[in-house]
């Protein structure tokens, strides 16, 4: 029966699976009448907000404060940093009119916020005592994607974009802040149960204006990898342009050293894609909009008692911090089971006449299908244990799966085979851009950088392309 409701093989046809699950599970609606823009259903919006709240709590815990900056950036301000302008000029939306009047200066609709925030940093930072400054915000950004758009993965409105921007007195402090940002993103991916490859980016892949960057990549079921976040060391490239300076202890004026890091709604796409199956979604309890669905199994003569008991259980669970809902629809029990399985609710509670007689319920885990009879009086204590075990199992399973999709290559042929097998390929690399180009063009892949996590488990002494001594290990993937 479940196959009749969601008969799509996730591994064989991920594209169709993903498109259908967004629609059927009420995550997002692509029918908004502007290409590349989507509307979030409350169900998907709630999951996304829980992801961002976790990150925002981590940012605040590590000394970041939340600010908010305007959506419009004057053309003259946006264009001050040449590399930044060159990196985004084909993707920006321009505003040239206000009502019936032409604007004296065109405005950019922010594609990211460096050029909106740093002119204000230059006003707010006066002395070394104002540093470090750490500010984050979660808001939409807008990019005119010229490649094929895909909801949550590549949109023209990135509805959930969390970015942190920091300023420091020294390069050493900025470097330490990079470690803080990286650790936050490590924690975030672990929280979501989404394994990743962290790489140090090659210079030609750097964020426009950055001097150094670390990026995170997540494997999708079609074998392609998606960048899920980045941590960037901007050095003084923006501070010199936007006059983000301060008076030091020596009485002299100095330019600040800056970092920035960001993640987006792609994280929801990552967790959906990693943990779903052919029945639909599987949400970790931590981010599930509904953690428990209670399904009353009604029979004549006991309907009122069962309904009353189900509603009482729901209230008790909510009172104890568990997001529970009763399905009081007219659907048959089997239909309800399949529907909520498709939506990825972590735990189902079944309550029928025999259960009521025994003063118990049947709990069913979404990920494994494991059933367990639990006394009603103990359900509020038992469910957190089920959540904890489920989350642990899902994280371990995801990590094991990821390890199986990292291979090692000493030759071009082995790189080719690893890519055919839909893996991330670690290979020896001399570090020259020409060798990287030969590999990228030869196999239609992207070299995303040098792996920081997971660390290589095998020695790769020679460059897979030229055969000379390897200076580093590179990672080749098919990416989005």
Domain harbouring 473, CATH code: 3.30.110.30
Q: Are residues 119 and 177 in the same domain?
A: yes
Over 70: is that where the pLDDT of 2 sits?
Answer: no
Q: Are residues 193 and 321 in the same domain?
A: no
Q: Are residues 47 and 167 in the same domain?
A: yes
Q: What is the mean pLDDT of residues 283-290?
A: 98
pLDDT of residue 5: 62
Q: At what angle do helices 412-420 and 433-443 cross, to 10 degrees?
A: 40
Over 80: is that where the pLDDT of 417 sits?
Answer: yes
Q: Which CATH number does the domain housing residue 308 bear?
A: 3.40.50.800
Contact between 219 and 457 under an 8 Å Cβ cutoff? The reply is no
> Phi and psi at residue 63, in whole multiples of 5°?
90, 10
287 lies in a domain? no
Q: Are residues 346 and 269 in the same domain?
A: no
285 lies in a domain? no
Q: Are residues 301 and 270 in the same domain?
A: no
Over 50: is that where the pLDDT of 1 sits?
Answer: no
Cα 432–chain centre separation: 31
Q: Are residues 382 and 412 in the same domain?
A: no
Least confident range of 41-45, 85-89, 255-259: 85-89
397 lies in a domain? no
129 lies in a domain? yes
Per the structure, how many domains does the chain have? 3
Percent of the chain with pLDDT over 90: 92
190 lies in a domain? yes
Contact between 232 and 260 under an 8 Å Cβ cutoff? The reply is yes
Q: What is the mean pLDDT of residues 320-336?
A: 95
The whole-angstrom separation of Cα 288 and Cα 43 is 9
Contact between 365 and 357 under an 8 Å Cβ cutoff? The reply is no
Of 242, 275, 308, the residue that ends a domain is 275
146-170: pLDDT as tens digits: 888 899 999 999 999 999 999 999 9
354-412: pLDDT as tens digits: 999 999 999 999 999 999 999 999 999 999 999 999 999 999 999 999 999 999 999 99
347 lies in a domain? yes
For 47-191, strand residue ranges (E) read 65-66, 72-74, 93-98, 101-109, 133-142, 157-168
Q: Are residues 363 and 467 in the same domain?
A: no
Q: Are residues 15 and 120 in the same domain?
A: yes
pLDDT of residue 144: 95
Strands 292-296 and 324-326: parallel
Domain limits for position 333: 292-386
396 lies in a domain? no
Average pLDDT, the chain: 95
Q: Which CATH number does the domain housing residue 174 bear?
A: 3.30.930.10
pLDDT of residue 89: 83
pLDDT of residue 88: 86
Calculate ∠ Cα 106-110-112, nearest 5°.
Answer: 145
Of 241, 275, 309, the residue that ends a domain is 275
Q: Are residues 241 and 216 in the same domain?
A: yes
Across the strands, what pairs with 280?
277
Of 327, 357, 386, the residue that ends a domain is 386
Q: What is the mean pLDDT of residues 62-79?
A: 96
Q: Are residues 65 and 205 in the same domain?
A: yes
Q: Are residues 45 and 120 in the same domain?
A: yes
281 lies in a domain? no
Q: Are residues 74 and 161 in the same domain?
A: yes
């Amino acid at each position: 029966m479940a196959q009749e409701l969601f008969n799509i093989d996730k591994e064989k046809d991920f594209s169709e699976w993903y498109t259908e699950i967004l629609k059927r599970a009420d995550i997002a609606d692509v029918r908004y009448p502007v290409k590349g823009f989507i509307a979030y259903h409350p169900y998907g919006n709630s999951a996304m907000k829980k992801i961002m709240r976790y990150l925002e709590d981590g940012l605040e815990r590590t000394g970041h404060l939340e600010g908010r900056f305007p959506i419009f950036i004057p053309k003259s301000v946006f264009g001050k940093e040449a590399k930044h302008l060159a990196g985004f000029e084909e993707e920006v939306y321009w505003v040239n009119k206000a009502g019936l009047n032409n604007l004296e200066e065109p405005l950019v609709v922010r594609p990211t916020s460096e050029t909106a925030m740093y002119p204000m940093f230059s006003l707010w930072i006066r002395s070394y005592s104002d540093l470090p400054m750490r500010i984050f915000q979660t808001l939409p950004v807008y990019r005119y994607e010229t490649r094929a758009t895909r909801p949550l993965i590549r949109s023209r409105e990135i509805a959930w974009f969390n970015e942190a921007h920091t300023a420091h007195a020294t390069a050493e402090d900025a470097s330490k802040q990079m470690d803080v940002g990286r650790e936050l993103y490590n924690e975030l991916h672990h929280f979501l149960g989404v394994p990743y490859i962290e790489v140090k980016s090659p210079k030609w892949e750097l964020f426009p204006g950055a001097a150094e960057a670390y990026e995170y990549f997540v494997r999708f079921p079609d074998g392609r990898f998606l960048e899920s976040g980045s941590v960037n060391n901007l050095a003084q490239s923006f501070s010199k342009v936007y006059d983000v300076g301060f008076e030091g202890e020596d009485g002299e004026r100095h330019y600040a050293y800056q970092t920035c890091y960001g993640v987006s709604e792609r994280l929801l796409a990552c967790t959906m894609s990693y943990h779903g199956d052919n029945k639909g979604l599987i949400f970790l309890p931590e981010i599930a909009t509904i953690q428990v669905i209670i399904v009353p199994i009604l029979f004549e003569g006991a309907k009122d008692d069962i309904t009353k008991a189900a509603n009482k259980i729901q209230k008790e669970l909510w009172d104890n911090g568990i997001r529970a809902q009763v399905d009081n629809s007219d659907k048959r029990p089997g239909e309800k089971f399949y529907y909520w399985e498709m939506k990825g609710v972590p735990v189902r509670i079944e309550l029928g006449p025999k259960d009521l007689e025994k003063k118990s319920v049947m709990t069913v885990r979404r990920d494994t299908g494991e059933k367990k009879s639990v006394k009603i009086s103990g359900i509020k204590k038992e469910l957190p244990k089920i959540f904890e075990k489920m989350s642990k199992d899902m994280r371990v399973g995801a990590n094991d799966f990821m390890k199986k999709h990292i291979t090692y290559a000493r030759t071009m042929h082995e790189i080719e085979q690893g890519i055919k097998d839909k893996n991330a390929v670690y290979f020896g690399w001399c570090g020259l851009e020409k060798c990287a180009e030969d590999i990228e063009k030869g196999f239609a892949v992207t070299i995303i950088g040098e792996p920081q996590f997971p660390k290589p488990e095998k020695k790769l002494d020679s460059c897979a392309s030229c055969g000379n001594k390897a200076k580093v290990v590179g990672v080749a993937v098919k990416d989005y």
